């Protein structure tokens, strides 16, 4: 290796270090690169022209958010052109009309220690003329070619002097500067070899390496500067967001002065807590009561006004989506409170962990948009690019941190540094655990511990597992509420899912999964059964076996599973239907304003008639023996629902559609109820009908009249199914 090659390699290594050492100052970086190039290639002057490209922070943010894997266009190797095959007039004419503009010129003169930064045209701009050196640089930037001019005076047929100092250019080597994306961002010029000779091919090769390092360094520095601007803008935006996201002083003072009812008043200790009757103000009072009841305010010296402001701020930062809103967060926190108190789980937790779990429950869905992680990934949203896993859960935690960092909202302000770090870790792990993907990852480990008879949950890993399972149990606890509550909540969840499915069809032109497809809404009961079997029941079962005091969650879930199974069976039979607007009333009901009559015909087949009248007790014949064979007459009972049909009658009719034992009940009633009617179901249905529609019992046996066929009307699906049950 020659001395020149060794020196060149050392200079290139120094330039590589300079890219990272001088990234916060573009002028220092360019000065260092040009100094090395000037000293190595022995030239009198060195200049760098920077293009006035769109280097704003917005454009850089767009480049950052570009889809991963997108390839930059391939660029061919630089083409070298000598002055003897380039027309000088073409260069100056093309340079004036390329539309390329330079923003800055860095010029390093002989003997100077620092580059001078100024406008690209220097003194020529004042006279209204463009600098010839700048025109040559524009031509190189436009063509992307290396231009080596050995004799400038002969090529231009005149001397090329700079007006400000009279410096004359004898030879010029001009080369484009490209960045990592192969985009031209500037032009580098070397002027006049010290020995008066033109630039050689060896000089061109060395200078090309300098141009590459110069491009990387300039691009890195521009990105760094714009990243700093973006961070500053982010801080400003965060300040504005914190101001508008923080509860008002008026609301805080009002809550601070309110009397907080007892936990028993809000039924906070019960696993069957219902928030439907609570006002928005009561939801905040109930939240305050949970903190007071756990003695967290006194234990951790939380200022009461800060707690009130924080609760109101958290409530304010929930969006008004149909399900993942503030009331869902309250229900999750209340279930955690009930598990800790009624379920006696607090004996396994420290006070600091109880504080972290309650905070995590209240904040676990902050700023939820009504769409899940899969939707964020499909739409390539900024959130999905920012967080590649557990996208929404990481965003919820970040929003929680944002509120805590807002002025007057830090309920952890009195904690020591160690306690603060621990409670924040507890909150983060708990919120991330609400991602069902994380639940499935941790489920097997938790099940193994339980099967091994683990009772010591105090180690860090086991405690984190337990807290994660508790968070999942609280997050899906609506499945264990009373049936009326569970059914209403299921409608809210379905509505939110259907809205996401509509967005997927509209924005992505994709067919959504079944649970988000509005056209498959009738499958909701069966999907609820699947959700309970796969997630809820296994979790509640293992928790209730390990911690018996939370068994009400398992029992409620099991009971609701039966309800959903019954509803799913009726949907399959065609007796019920689920509609987007009436999902909370799954029984087939008639609209109050319907004008047409709908007829239900109940046909009792093969029912023995009792001889004689009366509504007496035992069935059978007059002698107590078997009943006489049924006559060929089948009693037809017709119910016509009109506007005058009573509410009681309609309720009984609806109830009969849901009754499991319709067939068995009708048979037992037919056998036990004398001869008052042909069948028990028919008699029960006719109990509230006008007396004129009831058939009188026969006093003496008489030959039956010829059977009359029923009206030839097309039976409805509901009528057919009802007849099958009866």
Output the known binding site for Zn(2+).
328, 364-365, 475
Task: Please check whether residue 127 is in contact with residue 149, taking contact to mean a CB–CB distance below 8 angstroms.
Answer: no
Question: CA triplet 572, 576, 577: central angle to 5 degrees?
Answer: 90
Listed as own residue / partner, the contacts of 395-400 with beta carbons closer than 8 Å and 24 or more positions apart are: 395/366, 395/367, 396/363, 396/364, 396/365, 396/366, 396/367, 396/368, 396/431, 397/363, 397/427, 397/428, 397/431, 397/432, 399/317, 399/363, 399/366, 399/367, 400/359, 400/360, 400/363, 400/366, 400/427, 400/431
Q: Which residues contact 400 (CB under 8 A, 6 or more apart)?
A: 359, 360, 363, 366, 427, 431
- The whole-angstrom separation of Cα 194 and Cα 46 is 12
Instruction: Give the strand pairing for 80-82 and 146-149.
Output: parallel
Task: Please check whether residue 103 is in contact with residue 51, taking contact to mean a CB–CB distance below 8 angstroms.
Answer: yes
**Active-site position among 97, 219, 244, 324:** 324
Is-catalytic flag, 324? yes
Output the known binding site: 324-328, 364-365, 475, 528
339-373: burial string, b at 16+ Cβ within 10 Å, e else:
bbbebebbebbeebbbbbbbbbbbbbbbbbebbbb
- The whole-angstrom separation of Cα 541 and Cα 489 is 22
Q: Which residues pair with 172 in a beta bridge?
A: 149, 191
Helix axes 249-257, 280-293, angle to 10 degrees: 60
**Closest to 705 in 3D by CA, of 635, 606, 633, 609:** 633
- And the tokens for 522? 């009738």
Residues with catalytic roles: 324
């Amino acid at each position: 290796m020659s001395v020149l090659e060794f020196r060149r390699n050392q200079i290139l290594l120094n330039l590589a270090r300079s890219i990272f050492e001088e990234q916060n100052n573009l002028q220092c970086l360019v000065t260092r690169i040009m100094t090395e190039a000037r000293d190595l290639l022995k030239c009198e002057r060195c200049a760098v022209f920077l293009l006035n490209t769109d280097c704003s922070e917005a454009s850089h943010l767009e480049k950052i958010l570009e889809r991963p894997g997108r390839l930059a266009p391939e660029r061919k190797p630089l083409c070298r052109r000598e002055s003897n095959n380039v027309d000088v007039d073409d260069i100056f004419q093309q340079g004036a009309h390329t539309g390329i503009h330079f923003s800055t010129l860095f010029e390093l003169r002989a003997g100077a220690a620092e580059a001078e930064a100024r406008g690209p045209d220097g003194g020529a701009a004042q006279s209204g003329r463009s600098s010839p050196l700048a025109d040559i640089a524009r031509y190189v930037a436009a063509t992307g070619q290396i231009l080596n001019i050995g004799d400038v005076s002969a090529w231009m047929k005149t001397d090329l002097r700079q007006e400000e100092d009279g410096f004359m250019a004898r030879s010029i080597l001009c080369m484009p500067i490209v960045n990592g994306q192969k985009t031209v961002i500037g032009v580098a010029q070397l002027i006049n070899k010290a020995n008066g000779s033109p630039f050689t091919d060896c000089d061109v090769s060395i200078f090309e390496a300098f141009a590459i390092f110069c491009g990387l360094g300039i691009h890195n520095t521009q990105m760094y500067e714009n990243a700093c601007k973006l961070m500053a803008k982010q801080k400003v935006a965060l300040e504005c967001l914190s101001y508008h996201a923080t509860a008002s002083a008026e609301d805080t003072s009002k809550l601070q002065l309110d009397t907080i009812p007892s936990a028993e008043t809000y039924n906070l200790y019960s696993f069957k807590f219902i928030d439907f009757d609570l006002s928005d103000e009561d939801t905040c009072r109930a939240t305050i009561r949970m903190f007071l009841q756990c003695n967290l305010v006194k234990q951790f010296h939380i200022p009461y006004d800060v707690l009130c402001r924080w609760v109101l701020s958290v409530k304010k930062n929930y969006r008004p989506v149909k399900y993942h809103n503030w009331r869902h967060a309250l229900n999750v926190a209340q279930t955690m409170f009930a598990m800790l108190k009624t379920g006696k789980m607090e004996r396994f937790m420290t006070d600091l962990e109880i504080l972290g779990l309650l905070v995590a429950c209240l904040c676990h869905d902050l700023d939820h948009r009504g769409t899940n992680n899969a939707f964020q990934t499909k739409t390539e949203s900024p959130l999905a690019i920012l967080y590649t896993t557990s996208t929404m859960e990481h965003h919820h935690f970040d929003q929680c941190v944002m509120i805590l960092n807002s002025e007057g909202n830090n309920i952890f302000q009195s904690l020591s540094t160690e306690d603060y770090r621990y409670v924040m870790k507890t909150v983060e792990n708990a919120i991330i655990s609400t991602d069902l993907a994380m639940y499935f990852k941790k489920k097997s480990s938790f099940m193994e511990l339980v099967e091994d008879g683990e009772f010591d949950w105090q180690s860090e890993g086991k405690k984190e597992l337990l807290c994660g399972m508790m968070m999942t149990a609280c997050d899906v606890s609506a499945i264990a509420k009373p049936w009326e509550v569970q059914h209403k909540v299921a409608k809210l969840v379905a509505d939110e899912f259907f809205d996401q499915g509509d967005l997927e069809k509209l924005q992505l032109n994709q067919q959504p999964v079944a649970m988000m497809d509005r056209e498959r809404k009738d499958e909701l009961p069966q999907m609820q059964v699947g959700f309970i079997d796969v997630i809820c029941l296994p979790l509640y079962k293992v928790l209730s076996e390990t911690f018996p005091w939370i068994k009400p969650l398992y029992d409620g879930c099991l009971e609701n599973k039966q309800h959903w199974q019954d509803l799913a069976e009726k949907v399959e039979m065609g007796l019920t239907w689920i509609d987007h607007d009436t999902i909370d009333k799954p029984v087939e009901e008639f609209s109050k304003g319907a004008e047409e009559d709908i007829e239900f015909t109940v046909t009792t087949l093969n029912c023995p008639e009792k001889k004689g009248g009366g509504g007496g007790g035992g069935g059978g014949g007059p002698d107590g023996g078997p009943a006489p064979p049924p006559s060929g007459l089948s009693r037809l009972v017709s119910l016509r629902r009109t506007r005058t049909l009573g509410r009681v009658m309609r309720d009984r009719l609806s109830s009969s559609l849901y009754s499991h034992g319709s067939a068995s009940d009708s048979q037992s009633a037919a056998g036990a109820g004398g001869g008052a009617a042909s069948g028990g179901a028919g008699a029960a249905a006719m109990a509230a009908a006008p007396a004129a529609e009831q058939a009188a019992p026969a006093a003496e046996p008489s030959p039956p009249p010829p059977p009359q066929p029923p009206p030839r009307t097309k039976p409805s699906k509901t009528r057919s199914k009802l007849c099958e049950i009866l």
